[in-house]
Amino acid sequence: MWRVEVLVAELVISDTPIAGVFMVSRERRRDTRGHLERLFDAPALSGLLADRAIVQVNRTYTEQAGTVRGLHLQLPPNAETKVVACLRGSVFDVAVDLRPGSSTFGEWLGCELTSDNGLALWIPEGCAHGVQTLEPDSELLYLHTAAYAPDSEAALNPLSADVGIDWPRGISRLSERDASAPASLDAFLEVEW
């Protein structure tokens, strides 16, 4: 006799102090085989996606704890929204508001994403993204609403005194590109989002 087990997993969207940045909580449904969690659901996220679609999916793997990647974003006309989830390990995930007209311009939000907590961070156009690994061998999944466009690439130095991110660990590894990125918010004052 066949036994049918059906799992339905939900996404829960929560506001954060930065307009347009959201926490996405993935509800896990468990049964005798393990669990199911929905990583993406276009109908459930249609209010946030508006007329955009996910067009690129990337995965990063970082060996060493304490490594910082970012703060990265793409400028118009290739600005992108990102949804970031942790598949293995744990990270401190950061969004920085670089939209000059925003009431939270220059402010940052950090949260812990782990393979176990079922959280993802929704980072809208105009916000830079960075991450610090909290344990070795951490993997992230990125969903993007725009394909990578080198001519639109921009970055803010993750050690910018203008922003003052309180990274939870000492930085063990930082790329030369990220270390040499502009540290001043002035670089983003003329960008029209």
Domain boundaries, given as residue ranges, for the chain: 11-29+36-182
Q: What per-residue confidence (pLDDT) applies to 8?
A: 44
Q: What per-residue confidence (pLDDT) applies to 34?
A: 83
Q: What per-residue confidence (pLDDT) applies to 71?
A: 97
Helix (H, G, I), strand (E, B) or coil at 105: coil
Tell me if residue 72 is catalytic.
yes
Q: Please give the CATH number for the structural domain made up of 11-29+36-182.
A: 2.60.120.10
Burial class (CB in 10 A: 0-12, 13-18, 19+), 183: middle
Q: What per-residue confidence (pLDDT) applies to 3?
A: 46
pTM given for the model: 0.91
Q: What per-residue confidence (pLDDT) applies to 99?
A: 97
Query: Active-site residue among 35, 72, 129, 144?
Result: 72
State how far the Cα of 112 lies from the Cα of 169, in Å rounded to an integer: 12
pLDDT string in tens for the chain (193-residue length): 454 444 445 888 899 999 999 999 888 777 888 877 777 888 888 888 888 999 999 999 999 999 999 999 999 999 999 999 999 999 999 999 999 999 999 999 999 999 999 899 999 999 999 999 999 999 999 999 999 999 999 999 999 999 999 999 999 999 999 999 999 999 999 999 9
Rg, Å, the chain Cα set: 17
Q: What per-residue confidence (pLDDT) applies to 4?
A: 44
Query: Active-site residue among 61, 129, 142, 148?
Result: 142
DSSP element (H, E) containing 119: strand 119-123
Q: What per-residue confidence (pLDDT) applies to 183?
A: 96
Q: Which residue, among 103, 96, 149, 150, has the nearest Cα to 123 in the 3D structure?
A: 96
State how far the Cα of 144 lies from the Cα of 153, in Å rounded to an integer: 14
Q: What per-residue confidence (pLDDT) applies to 30?
A: 78
- Residues near 26 by Cβ (< 8 Å), separated by ≥ 6? 9, 11, 37, 38, 39, 85, 118, 119, 120
Are the C-beta atoms of 5 and 33 separated by less than 8 Å? Answer: yes
